[in-house]
Amino acid sequence: MIKCIVFSEFSIWEALSISRELLTGQRKFLLRYTYFISVIIFLYCISQRFRLVNFQK
């Protein structure tokens, strides 16, 4: 459980860093779009890591 929490926090920081890098180069009308993409990437990373944990069990 501790490893899952650490991985989830790490993926949250990954999504934040990716969104910040995208937002700096985008215009204001694309802010919501890039945020939506970052959320999708965040959920995808979590699903992949949960699959790895379930596969190891």
Q: Which residues contact 11 (CB under 8 A, 6 or more apart)?
A: 42, 45, 46, 49
Total domain count, the chain: 1
Looking at residue 55, what is its pLDDT?
62
Measured at the alpha carbon of residue 54, what is the angle toward residues 53 and 57, in degrees to the nearest 5?
Answer: 90
* Range of the structural domain that residue 26 is part of: 2-56
Q: Is 38 exposed, middle or buried (CB count within 10 Å of its CB: 0-12, 13-18, 19+)?
A: buried
pTM listed for this prediction: 0.38
Alpha helices by DSSP H, listed for the chain, are: 2-25, 31-56
- 11-39: pLDDT as tens digits: 666 777 766 766 666 565 566 677 788 78
